[in-house]
Every structure is written in C-alpha cells, then in structure tokens.
Amino acid sequence: MLQQRPVTTLQHVNICDRCGKEMQRDAIDGEWSERLTISFRAGYGSVFGDGNIVECDLCQHCIKDLLERYLRIIHDDSFDPKHKPQVERYRIYQDYQLCDEAQKTAVWEEFKRLARAHSKKLEEREQQMKIQAAAEK
C-alpha cells in the first residue's frame, strides 16, 4: 500500500550577519560556496578583547559592498589556473586556538614538514659555502 507522510529534515543554513540573507548548502544559487565565515580567538592585547571569540558570516553581496575597494580581483580560468594566491599562509597556532586532537596533529605535522624543508635549505647553503670557500683557496 502506498502511503504519504510528512518528513522532517534539517537543512544547513548560514545567515548573513549583515543583510540576513539565508545561504543553503544544497541550493543551486551558489551562495553557500561564495560565503565568508570569520571565526577566530582574539589574542593578547587584541582590539576585540583578550581571548574573546570573534565570528561573522557574510554573503558574497555584503563582502562586495564592504570590501570591494580593498579587494584585488585577478581574472583567471578556474579550469586552467595561471595564478596562485600572492602569499601562501603558514600559521603556527596556540593550543587554545585549535578545536580537537586531529587538528592539532595536522598542524604539528605541517610545522615539522616546514622545519625539515627549512633545515634542508640551510644544509644546502652550508654545503655551497664550503665548496665556494674550498674553491677560493
């Protein structure tokens, strides 16, 4: 027997803190993927207050309205990118800034990788200096 019954589901919705626009994860309008979420713990001496959590969700339209004059928009082909972000970010976090053990482990592994790469560069530079000094003698 075929029956119909109401089904309740939860939707992932992000609401812009400036204009109130709802951005739904499953919507086809693309707003979800263009949103900006800011979430961090303020550090010592911060204008936001020591240790406070600072959060904000903005839709792409509010990002444009608020930040357009500060943004550098570089036209690029997303299927054949020619540009990378100007600055690659490397961050070292305090324990209180990380959510869980998996995140702490991932950050620690990245730190060790960067340290090894830096150490290798220093060793290569030392080796080049030794070769150069020997050649000068």
76-118 pLDDT, tens digit each: 887 787 877 665 554 555 555 556 677 777 777 777 788 788 7
Q: Is the pTM of this model over 0.75?
A: no
Q: Average of pLDDT values for 17-40?
A: 90
For the chain, domain boundaries: 12-71, 87-137
- Mean pLDDT along residues 23-41: 88
Q: Which pLDDT tens digit goes with each residue over 54-86?
A: 999 999 999 999 999 998 888 888 778 787 766
Enumerate the β-bridge partners of residue 58.
36
pLDDT for 97: 54
How confident is the prediction for the chain on average, in pLDDT? 82
